[in-house]
Amino acid sequence: MRVEESIAIGELSRRTGVNIETIRYFERVGVLATPPRTSGGRRVYGTGHVRALGFVRRARELGFSPAEVRAILSLGGSAQASCSEVREIAAHHLERVRAKMEDLAQLESLLAATIDRCEGDGAASCAVIDLLDQPSSG
């Protein structure tokens, strides 16, 4: 069998776009498996780590929380993860995305209308400031 490629932390960082300090942080908090070390104490990664770290990065990019990432990884890593459980996490995440979209849509129309109302007025009261001054009707 082939001996796996030896990848130093800097190289792993370059390949995945993840900060070196962040890689060590991920290891500390259990998001990335602890790699073996050289006799001198340096971390030695393999292509599996490249994939796993890419997986983590991608999940974070897609807005999964670190807790969710940990949950997915605890299901056995990207390859063996139980489909239905991962799907459930993703579905939950999707719900939150949709809720956030609604919030933002409301906020968008409120802000847009208010800014619009303000426009042109050089006068007395400012609609935007009034908006902020209201107790809580947003």
Partner DNA sequence: CTTGCTCCTGTAGTCACTACAGGATGCATA
Partner DNA sequence: TATGCATCCTGTAGTGACTACAGGAGCAAG
- In terms of CB distance, is 19 or 74 closer to DNA? 19
- Rounded Cα distance, 22 and 72, in Å: 19
Contacts of 17 (CB under 8 A, 6+ apart): 57
Q: Which two tokens stand for residue 125?
A: 């009261």
Instruction: Give the single-character DSSP code of 62.
Output: T
| Residue 65 near which of its own copies, DNA, none (CB within 5-8 Å, type-dependent) | DNA
The entry of its own copies, DNA, none that residue 39 binds, CB within 5 to 8 Å by partner kind:
DNA
Residue listed under structure tokens 């107790």: 135
Interaction with DNA in 79-138: which residues (CB under 7 A)? none
| DSSP class per residue in 104-138 | HHHHHHHHHHHHHHHTT--SS--HHHHHHHSSS--
The binder of 21, among DNA, its own copies, none, by C-beta within 5 to 8 A per type, is DNA
Q: If you search the block for the tokens 């908090």, which residue do you land on? A: 29
State which amino acid sits at residue 119. Answer: E
In the bound state with DNA, the residue whose beta carbon lies nearer, of 59 and 81, is 59
By the criterion CB under 8 A, which residues form the site for its own copies? 51, 54-55, 58-59, 61-63, 72, 78-79, 81, 83, 86-87, 90-91, 93-94, 97-98, 100-101, 104-105, 107-108, 110-112, 114-115, 118-119, 121-122, 126, 128-129, 131-136, 138
19 binds, among its own copies, DNA, none (CB under 5 to 8 A by kind): DNA
